[in-house]
Structure 1
Amino acid sequence: YVAALGGGANVVSNAADPNAGAIEIVPALDIYNLQITSDNPLSNPYLNKALNVPSFMSAAGGPYYSDTLRSPAEAGDLLSEIYDANGDDLGLEDGDVISLTGMVGRDSANSADDGLSIAYVSGAGGTTMENLMLLIRDTLKLPANDGTVANNPSVSMNLGASDDGIPDGALVVRGAKGLDFELSNLTLRATNSNNQNPAPTLFNANTSFTQKQKAQDVGVFDTSIAVYDDTGNEHILTMTYVHTGTPGIWDWSVGLNGNESITAGQTGQIIFGQDGSVAAFTFDDDASQLVIDPNNGSSIMRLNLDVGGPGNFQGITQFSSPTTVSAIGQDGYPSGNLTDVSIDEYGVVEGSFSNGVSKRLAQIMLVDFTNPGGLMRVSDSVYTTSPNSGDPVFGVPGSQSASVIKPGALEMSNVDLASEFTSMITTQRGYQANARVITVSDSLLEELVALKR
Structure 2
Amino acid sequence: MPFNTALSGIRAASSDLRITGNNIANASTTGFKASRAEFGDVYASTILGGGGNLIGSGVRIQDVAQQFTQGNISFTENELDLAVSGTGFFVVSNDGDRNYTRAGTFGLDEDGFVVNSVGARLQGFTADAAGNVGGILDDLRIDSGNQAPRQTTLVESALLLDSRESVLQSVGSTFATDGSTIGDAQTGLQTPVTTRVEGTSVPVAAGFDFTANAITFDVALSGASGNNGTVSVALDFNNGAPASLNTLADANAVAAAINAQLFAPLSGAQSPIDVVASVVNDGGGQFHIDLQALQDGEASTVSVTSGLNTGVIGLAGDPTDSSGTPAANNGYQATSLDFTGPDGNTVTYTSQQFGSAAQTASELNALAGISATASTTAVLRGQVSVPANPTDTGYVNQNGNLVINLNGVDLSSNSLLELEAEINALTTSTLPGISASFDAASGDLTVTSAVGDNLTFTISSTDDGDSIEVSGSGVATTEVLEADPGADGLSTVVSPGVQNLSAATGNAVVTGGSIDIVMDEGYSVANITPLGVLFNANFLANIQPAVINQFDPSDQSTYNHATSLTIFDSLGNPHVMTQYFVKQAYDPDDPTTSPNQWLMNVLIDGQNVGDPLPGETTPTLASFNVHFNQDGTLNRTLTDDMLISNWEPLDADGRPTGALGPQNVLSGGTLPIPTPSTSSNFQIDLTGSTQFGDDFSVDSVDQDGFTTGQLSGISIDDSGVVFARFSNGEAQIIAQIGLADFPNEQGLQQIGDTMWAENFDSGVPNISAPGTAALGAIQSGALEESNVDLSQQLVNLIIAQRNFQASAKTIETADQTTQTIINLR
Tell me the TM-score range normalised by the shorter chain.
0.3 to 0.5
TM-score (norm 1): 0.41
Greater percentage in strand: 2
Tell which has more relative contact order, 1 or 2 (C-alpha 8 A, sep 6+). 2
